[in-house]
Amino acid sequence: MTKIWLLDIGYKPGTSEIHLWGIKDSGERILAVDRSFRQYLYTTYGDKKMAEEELRKFHNLRLEKVTGRIFGREIDLLKIFFEDGSEDVNKLANRLRRRGLRVFEDDIRLSSKYLIDQPVKPSSWHDVELSEHDNGVSEISSINFVSNEPIPELKVLSLHMVALPTKGSPNPKKDPIILMTLVDSMGVTYLEGEESKILQRFVEYVQERDPDVIAGFDSNEWMWPYIMERAKHIGVSLSVGRGGSSPHRSLYGHVSIEGRASLDLKDMVDEIPELQLESLEELAEYFGLRKIEEFTELTDPELPAAWRQNLQLVKNYSRERAEAIYHLTTQEILGYAIALSSLTGIPLDHVLTAAVGFRVEAYLMKEAHKRGEVIPPRRERRPSGYVGGYVWKPKPGLVEDVVVLDFKSMYPNIMVKYNVSPDTLIHSGEEIKDFYEAPDVGHRFRKEPPGLYKEALLRLIQYRDSIKERLKKVDQERKKILRAQEKAVKVITNAMYGYAGWVGARWYVKEVAEAAAAWGRWIVKTAAKIAEELGFEIVYGDTDSLFVKNIPEKTSLLVESIQRRTGVEIKLEKHYVRLLFTEAKKKYAGLTRDGELEIVGLEAVRGDWSRAAKKLQKEIIEVVLRELDVEKAERIWSRRTRELKEGKVPLRELIIWKKITKPLDEYAVLAPHVVAAQILRDKGFRVDVGGKIGYIVERGEGKIRDRVSPFPFVNKENVDLEYYVEHQLNPVVERILKVVSQNFAKPGSRKMGLRRFMS
């Protein structure tokens, strides 16, 4: 018996031969082949003769009569195995469908199916029965999951690449790679000189050091495709895979390297909503590695000159990024990716790239399989919305001493409590006596048996509790692993409700999400009613939270009453000394009891306002909330306005960043950032969907979009300072002062204060 940690999984195309790349507990890296698995699909066989007729046309099929469940309903099925080891299920599935039969699980890739079907988990330890063959290949005769701990020592290589653009962004058709910087446990290696030499040495380096993980930033969409095209162009064989194969584009735009995990840290950016620029530098700052300003800056237009005149600058630029990638990977991201991979069953290689919905789905597929549920096919559906959470309208102005009550994991708890699940929904005509009925929308769910969502959620909750228990007892190093696991579990748990309402989900049933939302509204409104009955004043509330004016001697009674009546756990989450509400929902600022200033939803926390405006708004809020001094706030306002008008504000603070969310020619309206992006594109720069465009507004007549200038082609001389006063500084300040001036400014001075800068 051998112990193997599963790093990567693949299969030989056209066959049922599963390739498992693993790490033995001795540290040896091996490829083990499993030839025992067979691809299969299910079909209904309403007309038995017809099914048999079709099946006779195929050789080497093995049939099994089984009973499965689809959305909780029992159904008789034929399970059809492809005994000849082929994995071509499409042909058979299509034929059966053409005959009007229902077919299931033909749309799941072989390696995914293996992971769902077998006691095998990626990024985990297994007991394996191996037989060695002469050709060095090990064959598996049995494999069993053991544990997802400990995590073996993985060899990580990080990679940063610089190409020399002739015009705009580097173009892989003509612009060579001039530098590659590699970082691993041995330190930094620069590959420079002739491009073919760089690539050859890169391949040698990978073969020699044989890393398990290769990490980059924007490597799936940009770096790997670039390297691959250059290698092809100059005729270098890019055999960096463990079997000697080249990298290849696999599913969903991901680039796979055989036997290794290729990670793109850019995928991590989506998981951290706090990030506004979504850059590597910002990611590094977020994890406390290095501040954005401490990175050497080098934009594409500056690169050619720097390459000629200041080689060291270019090398520093590249090294800093390669090091950041290495440290982020080893210290922050790899552990999380491993935990997520082991939990969802998605191989390490893919798990960061996979969108949230697909992670949840991967987890559900395994749960469903355990319960004897057949996995429903993915289907095209028309999106149709439903009513979501309830939001109170706040009273604008200041309010003191407010406590916030939060329902803990409201939607997961609702789904567990009321057994809300696609397989427990009662359809019209069904006569079930024992049911829960959702308020408002009237959907009914049977109380027994527990549904797929309920069981999946309970298992997750249980797992998280056990992690929390263990966290109390273990040492620092193990704590880190457990925290990563906890985070992974949390991500999946919290996404379950959203998944339920996603039209692309295999288990999409609109009534499920709609009912969960309805129960949510009922619970939070019931809580509000209880609070009011007890004499509390509701200040605000959003979906699963209630802001109430504090009555210290009654808060614990309030919490108890709400929990008793609604049956859902509620927590006293926050205590604000003072809160400021604007006229809008979802926008407020507060001072907590520990003296922290919190800003929610306002421009100061939005990424699409200039830094100048954001900083000023924060200053104003700070002075208003902490010092209750509106006049001082107005003085700051006028000082900042003056500074801006006198040109004392750095250009960088005036840049407005916005995301490009679709191809430029699909925009119906030419917004300023779209025009800025067009200008960049026309200069030969890459404008990617999902990329951020920075621009400033220049002086001139007419529409804003007709006078934008994209970063980095901005010139301080041309900035329309008046625009920044009128459309950036003034609105964000006025939004705040408008709601407090009557309370705090002396009579008479208020209007003065506000009007002074308005016209």
- b/e map of 699-736 (b: 16 or more CB within 10 Å)? eeeeebbebbbbbeebeeeebbbebbbebbbbebbbbb
Structure tokens at 482: 């457990």
Structure tokens at 660: 């490009």
CA 375, chain centre distance (Å): 24
- Least distance CB 321 / DNA (angstroms): 23
Contact 620, 637 (CB under 8 A): yes
Cis amide prior to 672 (ω within 30 degrees)? no
Contact 415, 425 (CB under 8 A): no
Closest CA to 608 of 712, 725, 700, 727: 727
Contact 419, 455 (CB under 8 A): no
Q: With H, G, I as helix, E, B as strand and everything else as coil, classify residue 669.
A: coil
- Interface residues with DNA (CB under 7 A)? 251-252, 273, 276, 350, 353-358, 360, 383, 385-389, 391, 495, 497-499, 501-504, 513, 517, 542-545, 582-587, 600-601, 605-608, 657-662, 667-674, 692, 703-706, 727, 731, 735
- Least distance CB 386 / DNA (angstroms): 5
Structure tokens at 490: 């949390």
Cis amide prior to 449 (ω within 30 degrees)? yes
Q: Which is nearer to DNA, 199 or 495 (CB)?
A: 495
- Least distance CB 98 / DNA (angstroms): 24
Q: What are phi and psi of 282, to 5 degrees?
A: -70, -35
Q: Which is nearer to DNA, 32 or 365 (CB)?
A: 365
- Least distance CB 622 / DNA (angstroms): 17
Positions of E strands within 165-275: 177-184, 187-192, 213-216, 248-249, 255-256, 261-264
- Least distance CB 220 / DNA (angstroms): 11
Q: Which is nearer to DNA, 203 or 577 (CB)?
A: 577
- Least distance CB 685 / DNA (angstroms): 17
d(CA 448, CA 469): 30
Query: What contacts 475, CB < 8 A, 6 or more positions away?
Result: none
Q: Which is nearer to DNA, 9 or 130 (CB)?
A: 9
d(CA 580, CA 625): 7
Taken as a whole, the chain contains a residue count of 759
DSSP 254: P
d(CA 317, CA 157): 18
Q: With H, G, I as helix, E, B as strand and everything else as coil, classify residue 29.
A: strand
- Least distance CB 61 / DNA (angstroms): 27
